[in-house]
Amino acid sequence: MTVSQPPVLAAEERAWNYWFVDGLTNLVIGANTLLFALCMIFPPRWPPKPLSIAIWLAALIGYVAVGANYRRIIEWLKAKTTYPRTGYVQPPYSDDPAQAANLTTFSLRGNDPPPEVQLLRMQRRTTWMITVALAAVAAFSSMIIKARWGWTAEGVLFSVAMIIARKDFRLSWILPVGFPILGLYITAFAPRHMGPEYSITGMGLLFVLDGATTLTRYILQNPAPKVPAA
Amino acid sequence: MTPDLQALATLDRTIHEPARLMIMTVLYAVNEADFLYLQRECGLTQGNLSSHLSKLEDAGYVLIEKMFKGKYPLTVCSLTLKGRTAFAEYVQKIRVVSEPPSNGKRTSSKSRPDNG
């Protein structure tokens, strides 16, 4: 038997990945991005059109509501889908104050997590920061570069960010492959003034596609139990 | 008995049992996990897991709570502070046993650096 990593580290990593195992996170991110895209597509204009205003307002309220309750929505969806199938685990990065208090007390006693676990958490944080930085650069590049190829550059940068994120976050290849294609499509076919709308809508669709694919695969691999677990 | 071997004799027997060691390892790495997750992670039967969890609970290492996530009932297990400390001490002892001797010489457990 070959041991690739210490069992505590492996258990921590599986618990971390478990949050992303069902694709619900990306599905909700995608849906929320699409709501934001709706806000961009139907901005309030003069003279006001009732239907346009209603869609914009509904999308805006939906976007803010989903953004504010992101974690609660995912937990609710997981309670219906994931927990009955494969169980519940609170991820190690949880910000639950009760749990944090317990861990803080534990740390004060000098019993920090093993060094390898601390190293893994540090690496994960670094990956996350690099991903966010690259995504920010990609978003700014599309604002600064006025040429049409700016959208392709944005797509490639987002793709690189997703490839880096895949190291620690469970993402399919749909996002890294999809972003450059989206960038090329906007460069080639989108009306010049509609670039941001196409970009945000495309991003939302990619995240929804990624989440839906992962969720379908998860449900097929883990059919619902006949008898609910006690 | 040599001091090196003495460390082995003081291993916590509650944790040392393989199934309980698996449970403690999983719970040490997370904040809390439910019965089903533990069962799948450790590959234990319901009865087996239940009995080992009871022993860990009796030792004061594991806290078992019934809770709801939405309408779904969960039996959630987490390590207590006592359990975390006991597991950390257990791992420390096992590490000392498996550490290679420095500079090709055997050293006693007292003279070894503390690796935390």
Assess contact for A83 and A229: CB atoms under 8 A: no
> Is B81 in contact with A7 (Cβ distance < 8 A)?
no
Residue among B71, B80, B67, B72 at smallest CA distance from B24: B80
What is the pLDDT, as a whole number, of residue A92?
A: 58
What is the pLDDT, as a whole number, of residue A4?
A: 65
Helix residue ranges, H only, A1-114: 7-18, 24-41, 50-68, 70-81, 83-86, 97-108
What is the pLDDT, as a whole number, of residue A109?
A: 42
- Give the mean pLDDT of B80-88: 90
Q: Which residues of chain B lie closer than 8 angstroms to A124, CB-CB?
A: none
Q: Which residues of chain B lie closer than 8 angstroms to A91, CB-CB?
A: 30-31
Least Cα separation, residue A221 to chain B (angstroms): 14
Cα A154 to the center of its chain, rounded Å:
18
Q: Convert A35-66 to b/e letters by CB count within 10 Å (16 or more is b).
A: bbbbbbbbeeeeeeeeeeeeebeebbebbeeb
ipTM of the prediction greater than 0.95, yes or no: no
Segment A163-214, tens digit of pLDDT: 998 888 778 899 999 999 999 999 998 887 888 899 999 999 999 999 999 9
Segment B10-66, tens digit of pLDDT: 888 999 999 999 999 999 888 889 999 999 999 999 999 999 999 999 999 999 999
H-helix or E-strand spanning residue A110: none
User: Would you call A88 an interface residue with chain B, using a CB distance cutoff of 8 Å?
Assistant: yes
Q: Tell me whether the omega of the peptide bond preceding residue A92 falls within 30 degrees of 0, making it cis.
A: no
Q: Which residues of chain A lie closer than 8 angstroms to B39, CB-CB?
A: 87
DSSP A45-78: -SS--HHHHHHHHHHHHHHHHHHHTHHHHHHHHH
Which positions ≥6 away from B105 have C-beta within 8 Å? none
What is the pLDDT, as a whole number, of residue B14?
A: 92
Whether pLDDT at B109 is above 90: no
Most B-contacting residue of A73, A75, A89, A105 (CB-CB within 10 A), to test interface:
A89
Least Cα separation, residue A134 to chain B (angstroms): 30
pLDDT under 50 in chain A at which residues?
1-2, 97-111
What is the pLDDT, as a whole number, of residue B1?
A: 63
The pTM score is: 0.79
Task: Write the residue in A15, A94, A228 that is nearest to B29 by C-beta.
Answer: A15
